[in-house]
Amino acid sequence: MSDRATNSATNSAIDSAESRIESRVRDGVLEVVLARPAARNAIDTALAVALREALSDTGGVGAVAVLARGEHFCVGGDVRAMAAAADPGTFVTGLAEQFHRSVVALAEGPPVVAGVRGWAAGAGLSLVLAADVVVATEQASFQPGYAGLGVTPDGGLSWSLPRAVGDRRARALLLSNRVVGAAEAQRIGIVDDLVADEELETTVLDVARRLAAGPRRAARATKRLVREGASRPLTAQLAVEAGLIGAHAAAADGQEGIAAFLARRAASFGG
């Protein structure tokens, strides 16, 4: 979230030495804001832990919106902290493990909408691709980052990037470490919608609220179907789909959706 919007977007913060993550629930949406703008929201241990804690209980919300303060979404892991570590290998492994808990929480929770301004690089790109819907400004830039540091990806990027852009293109991007502009990112599948800079927060929150108003249990189940479907044969996936659609059709939200369709009115899902 840009500095101009944060006064109205925060009512609680998870603190370490300083606040790294700001969060609140509003209109059924958990708003999570990366709040380390002076470091371009680089992920250090404190931020990774705070993000994990902010995402630890999403059972009562219908969507998550991930935004950032300042001019950049997230430039990845805190390279200065890595360089200062007495044992870089142990430090980076621990940092990745903390961050990975948030990636899992985003994957297994309600629909996630990310809003990107400026740079999303390294683990910042991983965080973007952990979202279900990505909105970016027309000036946003994306870069894998890892090859430039002589390391391999984390944050699930080796899993999520091929699913977004295809296997060959993912390998090309990860190995070349080239910068992808906003228009190309939309064209190849990293970004869903491009907006003017001043429209970013409003657009992200509007999308998140619409998702939160939908059938929440069905939304989580749909995410799981897509995530797990890639590892199943078609016949197995069809069997899972048949069982799930029947269960959800018989549930309260399914009954409401069917009734609303027949009555030609908007459905009012209970979550």
pLDDT digits (tens, 9 = 90+) for 218-237: 999 999 999 999 899 999 99
Distance, first Cα to last Cα, the chain = 27
Q: What are phi and psi of 33, to 5 degrees?
A: -120, 120
The domains located in the chain, with CATH, are 3-212 (3.90.226.10), 216-263 (1.10.12)
Q: Give pLDDT tens digits for 34-72.
A: 999 999 999 999 999 999 999 999 999 999 999 999 999
* Distance of alpha carbon 166 from alpha carbon 126, whole angstroms: 15
Phi/psi of residue 115, each to 5°? -120, 120
Write out pLDDT tens, residues 96-125.
Answer: 999 999 999 999 999 999 999 999 999 999
Amino acid letter for position 194: L
pTM given for the model: 0.91
